[in-house]
Structure 1
Amino acid sequence: MTDNGDRTMGRRTMISGAAATALVAAGYQAAPAYAGEQHGHGHKTVRLSVLGTTDLHGNVFNWDYFKNAEYDDSAHNDIGLAKISTLVKAARAEIAEDRRRPAPLLLDAGDTIQGTPLAYYYAKIEPITGGHIHPMAAAMNAIGYDAAALGNHEFNYGLDILRKFQRQLRFPLLGANAQDWTTGLPVFPPYVLKRVHVPGAGRPITVGILGLTNPGIAIWDKATVENKIKFGGIVELAKYWVPRVRRAGADVVIVSAHSGIDLSSSYGDALPVPENAAGPMAEQVPGIDAVLVGHAHQEVAERFVTNQQTGEQVVLVEPLKWGMRLAQIDLDLRQQRGRWKVVARHSQVLNANTVEADPKVVRLLQKDHDTVVGYVNSKIGTCTTAMSAATAPWEDTAALDFVNFVQADAVAKAIAGTPEATLPVLAIAAPFNRAAAIPAGDVSVRDVAGLYIFDNTLLAVKMTGAQVQEYLEFSAQYFKQVSGTGPFTPDQVTNAPTPTAPTGTPDYNYDILGGLTKPLVYKIDLAKPVGSRITGLSYDGAPVAADQQFVVAVNNYRQSGGGNFPHVSKAPVLYNQQVEIRQLMIDYVTATGSVDPAAFATTDWSLVSNGAPIVVTA
């Protein structure tokens, strides 16, 4: 793929007023050639701007529902459509100051209705099928989107919720490669034409917006779409539809694609088409001017790809996730032979943490937000004995046993009736949050969520006993080598530096394995060097055989290669419906009404030194 790299914009231009202040603070830079300049032979250049978001994942407010506090991260990003609305208004106002420029378009690249308690509440607790307008639909309608592409997570709550959401939108939800199982015809609009008035020009600019979603839906939401909807490849369907969009009259073609730029697939060769293919699409399909990219949760301000057939450059931009950024694509056009033609392309991303939330969006959805805050902090069950993750990195705890139990139980139920249903089920968890605890007595949604602070989804893979042993050996490099049995402080044994983690292995890269119906038992001997620390590995009281087969529940981060653990990324995938592990835990407590550690907590692993127990005191 020809790739001129990710770039930031060129020189700044002088703009005025409150809109200018907001945009400059957000990182706005003008493209090198200003709209309206002459470009030889008296032809006037017109600049059309296209704004874009992606992977909003149910975020309207700058709020962390699980922490019950304003959202913050290490980069101090802000999130949500309320802040995006402020940036959009500022961009529209700045563009309107130049009376020669057409009004901008606003697009989204998918994954809109899943990812926060706000989204979950109106899918599962008070479903929008009952008449309530989805908060994301209400916000996006108020902001004034022109089109959006389907994301894979749009299918997580079933087709009834998705179709209701689609009907609530005042703009089209596009998915050219979401095709009827039998006929192959698109079951969502494949594209839309938007005619944009150009001040002082007789002919409007016709913009064709093509929407493409992720083929992985066929795997991730198989239960929802099988025998109903199939999903063609990103490149293949773009080759079919882009010429048709051009023939329909489009001067400009923009693809909103829920597919990452760089070629890759988390599902290996389970499908004949790749998961992430926006870059190859731009390279191989002539007639595309710009791509709004989604799915990969990356920040790409500007990347150019040269089309192999035409030699034309295509600009790609990906505005991170959750409303942290607003993309702005600037297309310079001139009329040639009575048609508008793009003669230059640029893009950038604007930072939402530089502006305040739009009061209009806040007022519109404050009641929904307050309802969900109340739900997250409400009692969903009880716990018989307090569970804490404070010591989870160095001793077997009920808290992590609970995570593994829920994961393994969900997998066992999902594979029932398959050939692998008779295999023993294991699960993998890491001590993400030492501060997490579930109290004795009343338990809230937020209490449960604290044990699992990441948005990981659940998969199941098949591994051998030998692979499990090697996996555990790799995980055990988290510990420092010691002699004697202590007592040691935690920092004397945990977070060992490695070549790939020179400042210390993070807690989230230490994995603990447990069995569902029978115990998986092992010891970690810290007197031994890395690679030979796992001793006494047994399942149900018998030594684990090298060729023994296991079903292993694992999160998507680990299965996709996160942490570079051995075997797991190449192991056969048995289950992947992209269900969040955190939500599975919440659902379990809600359904059972109680958490009893006696039902799942056992001491199956421990630290030793030459076989003698090690003592660690915090």
Structure 2
Amino acid sequence: MSRRQILASAAVTGAGAALWAAGAATASASAPAEHPDRFTLTVLGTTDTHGNVFNWDYFKDAEYDDAAHNDIGLAKIATLIAAVRDERGRCTTLTLDAGDTIQGTPLSYYYAKIDPITAGPVHPMAAAMNAIGYDAAALGNHEFNYGVALLRKFQAQLHHPLLGANALDWNTGEPAFPEYVIKKVPVGPKASHHGHGHGHDHGREAEHVSVGIVGLVTPGCAIWDKANLDGRITFNGIVEQAAELIPRVKRAGADIVIVSCHSGASTSSSYGDALPWPENASTLLAANVPDIDAILVGHAHVEIEQRYVQNTQTGRQVLLSEPLKWGERLTVMDLDLQRDRHGRWSVSTATATLLNANTAAEDAHIVKILTAAHEKTRTYVNGVIGKSAAAMSAATSRYQDTAAIDFINYIQADAVTKATGTSLPVLSIAAPFNAEAAIPAGDVTVRDVAGLYIYDNTLEAIQFTGAQVRAYLEFSATYFKQVSGSGPFAAADVTNAVTPTAPGGTPDYNYDIMGGLGTSAGTRLTYDIDIAKAPGSRIVNLAYGGAAVADEQQFLIAINNYRASGGGNFPGVTTAPVVYNAQVEIRQLIIDWVSAVGTIDPSVFASVDWRLLANGQPITITG
């Protein structure tokens, strides 16, 4: 298939396809003149690639597929990028990323923890991005998950700047990362030159447009990676930092300004008012800070082909586009520029479309340079670490007590009990992260455990009263939609409720299930959730060891660092006394437990401790 055919087949159907055709026509029409007054700049964008190089599901050890038959990974994105550059011209095309690059797959975990890049290897994501030839990337919040030292090593391995204008040095308040970069994009005869090496500087060879590229990241990093960032890096609000920075970028000579912003377009915060700035601020940024021409949006894992936001001060329309996560889509922005009689360039029109990775083959060069890293990871995740006496599935964990979640809670509570030597009752929380997770009967591998606990969280313990336990569970129960009658209901009819902090629906990872230590009657926490009742009054029959939980009763709570730092805005956690925080990764804790014990026996930890009710009657859910 030719590169032109690749582009034709990759364009997302509907309005985007028409815009792609219009953009291609514009690009073809703007053949370089000696002193052109019009010019089309193409900006390509990815975001939230989360450690995906190949179209591979390491948890299944098989080619990736989902219900929509999406494909993933930078190897496929590389093919699309090459096709666009071939069509538009390498020198008139910029390639950006909006963050969350080095966390999310066993591949990225392997090079953070098993064979860390701090000891020498090049991170596979750095190798892929360097081979593709990105011009700049923004920090994402997950860049900080493995600590600042590993992030700095990753930054040093990149051939392009890693931008984070609102990430500030804890002590000085100065930028901790580059704030912006200005790229000189040639116009005129030299602009038709194709295929030069990445980073080639035309300098005086041609007239040029100066493109300011700014990187910003959600300030929620300060909450979610508090342990890694306190005393090192702090964060300002996105709009607040941009209001000061964008005028400086213009004064530095930028004709146009593009922001790569790791912050969703739907103004909201999963952490409520725990910070004075919203988590998702890209729309606010476009509306409130003048002189931004386009924003590559990240963080929210949603698909926004093109959206326009009017700036309240200038009245100009700002283009926003967000490609789907994991390399499933590539944003293609076409910015039509015109030059005034003073020689200054500005954007006259801006459009965007999305290209679909499932139409492209994997780039042969990416495959060549990263297959060895891929195979090392596969070998690691397929290593057998123990056995299970019975199969355990997380498929119904959102609405039903399952052994899979009980298993996580048991190991967390057991670890806290042993580490603290406490005489207080120990409870644990876990969320249904991955509905496809399953521990098989028989041999259990690393990837089985990694699928059950897909985040790189660490274990902490805090102290709660009985009243705080109830408040926590009430908040968690807002995950459920209010219903009447006992069903039967489809799972979607009762889960993922819309709330003020989750206008798109409460994600599964923000529904916490709380349990005691094992199946002994004296250590079990039991409760019912009556979702016929209004949020805030749903938890009934709350008991520990068979006795009703008293408001003043004291408990230790095994909790992950994301939640303990305020992620999800659950009540009480950020002000509760911290009893334990040894920075032990929960996933590794589970792997180590299975390796040490040898056999997973669900009868040790699995019991039905919570139910969904409607007006006191059990609910039937059909899945």
TM-score tier, shorter chain, comes to 0.7 to 0.9
- Equivalent position SS for 2:109: helix
1:89 CA displacement: 0.6
Q: Which position in structure 2 is the counterpart of 1:367? A: 372
The answer to whether the 8 Å contact 1:50/1:105 transfers is yes
- Equivalent position SS for 2:574: strand
CA offsets per residue over residues 531-571 of structure 1, 9 Å max, x none?
Answer: 99987531134211356576766789999999xxxxx8552
Question: Quick one: which of 154, 164, 167 aligns to 2:153?
Answer: 164
Question: Quick one: which of 344, 355, 364 aligns to 2:360?
Answer: 355
1:608 CA displacement: 12
> Is 1:574 matched with 2:588?
no
Counterpart residue type for residue 441 of structure 2: P
- Equivalent position SS for 1:205: strand
Question: Quick one: which of 245, 248, 252 aligns to 1:244?
Answer: 248
Question: Quick one: which of 270, 279, 285 aligns to 1:281?
Answer: 285
| Superposition CA RMSD, Å | 4.6
CA offsets per residue over residues 318-373 of structure 1, 9 Å max, x none?
Answer: 11211011111111111111121111111121111111111111111011101101
Counterpart residue type for residue 205 of structure 1: V
Closer/same/farther in 2, CA of residues 514 and 605 from structure 1, 3 Å limit: same
CA offsets per residue over residues 384-429 of structure 1, 9 Å max, x none?
Answer: 6345238976986543321222455678899x89xx9978533244
Question: Quick one: which of 76, 83, 87 aligns to 2:80?
Answer: 87
> Is 1:303 matched with 2:307?
yes
Q: Which position in structure 2 is the counterpart of 1:449? A: 450
- Equivalent position SS for 2:326: coil
The answer to whether the 8 Å contact 1:524/1:607 transfers is yes
- Equivalent position SS for 2:122: coil
- 1:383-402 paired onto structure 2 within 5 Å: 383=387, 385-389=389-393, 398-402=403-407
- Equivalent position SS for 2:313: coil
CA distance, structure 1, for counterparts of residue 529 and residue 298 of structure 2: 45
- Equivalent position SS for 2:2: helix
- 1:211-250 paired onto structure 2 within 5 Å: 211-250=215-254
Counterpart residue type for residue 18 of structure 1: S
- 1:526-541 paired onto structure 2 within 5 Å: 536-541=541-546
The range that moved more, 117-126 or 584-593, is 584-593
- Equivalent position SS for 1:132: coil
The answer to whether the 8 Å contact 1:473/1:530 transfers is no
Q: Which position in structure 1 is the counterpart of 2:144? A: 155
> Is 1:515 matched with 2:506?
no
CA distance, structure 2, for counterparts of residue 432 and residue 601 of structure 1: 20
Counterpart residue type for residue 111 of structure 1: D
Could you state the TM-score of these two structures normalised by the residue count of structure 1? 0.79
CA offsets per residue over residues 514-544 of structure 1, 9 Å max, x none?
Answer: 1248623437699x98799987531134211
- Equivalent position SS for 1:141: helix
Q: Which position in structure 1 is the counterpart of 2:14? A: none
The answer to whether the 8 Å contact 1:95/1:103 transfers is yes
Q: Which position in structure 2 is the counterpart of 1:30? A: 21
Q: Which position in structure 2 is the counterpart of 1:5? A: none
CA distance, structure 2, for counterparts of residue 224 and residue 199 of structure 1: 48
Counterpart residue type for residue 188 of structure 2: P
CA distance, structure 2, for counterparts of residue 345 and residue 477 of structure 1: 40
The answer to whether the 8 Å contact 2:223/2:566 transfers is no
Question: Quick one: which of 152, 162, 167 aligns to 1:173?
Answer: 162
CA distance, structure 1, for counterparts of residue 400 and residue 188 of structure 2: 69
1:87 CA displacement: 0.4
- Equivalent position SS for 1:34: helix
CA distance, structure 2, for counterparts of residue 546 and residue 496 of structure 1: 32
CA distance, structure 2, for counterparts of residue 509 and residue 273 of structure 1: 20
The answer to whether the 8 Å contact 1:22/1:90 transfers is yes
> Is 1:144 matched with 2:133?
yes
The answer to whether the 8 Å contact 1:118/1:372 transfers is yes
CA distance, structure 2, for counterparts of residue 253 and residue 529 of structure 1: 51
Closer/same/farther in 2, CA of residues 161 and 374 from structure 1, 3 Å limit: same
- Equivalent position SS for 2:207: coil
Q: Which position in structure 1 is the counterpart of 2:181? A: 192
- Equivalent position SS for 1:204: strand
CA distance, structure 1, for counterparts of residue 152 and residue 250 of structure 2: 28
- Equivalent position SS for 1:443: strand
- Equivalent position SS for 1:30: helix
Q: Which position in structure 2 is the counterpart of 1:11? A: none
- Equivalent position SS for 1:119: helix
CA distance, structure 1, for counterparts of residue 314 and residue 538 of structure 2: 58
1:252 CA displacement: 1.1
Q: Which position in structure 2 is the counterpart of 1:255? A: 259
Q: What is the aligned residue count?
A: 569
- 1:114-125 paired onto structure 2 within 5 Å: 114-125=103-114
1:90 CA displacement: 0.7
Closer/same/farther in 2, CA of residues 535 and 67 from structure 1, 3 Å limit: same
Closer/same/farther in 2, CA of residues 510 and 298 from structure 1, 3 Å limit: closer
Q: Which position in structure 1 is the counterpart of 2:500? A: none
1:585 CA displacement: 3.0
Closer/same/farther in 2, CA of residues 364 and 553 from structure 1, 3 Å limit: same
- Equivalent position SS for 1:215: coil
1:211 CA displacement: 0.9
CA distance, structure 2, for counterparts of residue 391 and residue 319 of structure 1: 28
- Equivalent position SS for 2:277: coil
The answer to whether the 8 Å contact 1:331/1:342 transfers is yes
Closer/same/farther in 2, CA of residues 431 and 311 from structure 1, 3 Å limit: closer
1:214 CA displacement: 2.0
The answer to whether the 8 Å contact 2:49/2:326 transfers is yes
CA distance, structure 1, for counterparts of residue 36 and residue 160 of structure 2: 34
- 1:37-116 paired onto structure 2 within 5 Å: 44-96=37-89, 102-116=91-105
Question: Quick one: which of 323, 326, 333 aligns to 1:329?
Answer: 333
Q: Which position in structure 1 is the counterpart of 2:595? A: 593
- 1:396-415 paired onto structure 2 within 5 Å: 398-408=403-413
CA distance, structure 1, for counterparts of residue 389 and residue 365 of structure 2: 45
The answer to whether the 8 Å contact 1:523/1:608 transfers is no
Counterpart residue type for residue 359 of structure 2: T
- Bigger helix share: 2
The answer to whether the 8 Å contact 1:479/1:495 transfers is no
CA distance, structure 1, for counterparts of residue 540 and residue 258 of structure 2: 57
1:178 CA displacement: 1.3
1:21 CA displacement: 1.1
CA offsets per residue over residues 109-165 of structure 1, 9 Å max, x none?
Answer: 111111101100001000111211110011101011011111111111111211111
1:225 CA displacement: 1.5
Q: Which position in structure 2 is the counterpart of 1:486? A: none
> Is 1:266 matched with 2:270?
yes
- Equivalent position SS for 2:408: helix
Q: Which position in structure 1 is the counterpart of 2:296? A: 292
Closer/same/farther in 2, CA of residues 210 and 521 from structure 1, 3 Å limit: closer
CA distance, structure 2, for counterparts of residue 391 and residue 258 of structure 1: 30
The range that moved more, 393-402 or 292-301, is 393-402
Closer/same/farther in 2, CA of residues 512 and 111 from structure 1, 3 Å limit: closer
Closer/same/farther in 2, CA of residues 510 and 245 from structure 1, 3 Å limit: closer
CA distance, structure 2, for counterparts of residue 111 and residue 571 of structure 1: 27
- Equivalent position SS for 2:54: coil
The answer to whether the 8 Å contact 1:480/1:496 transfers is no
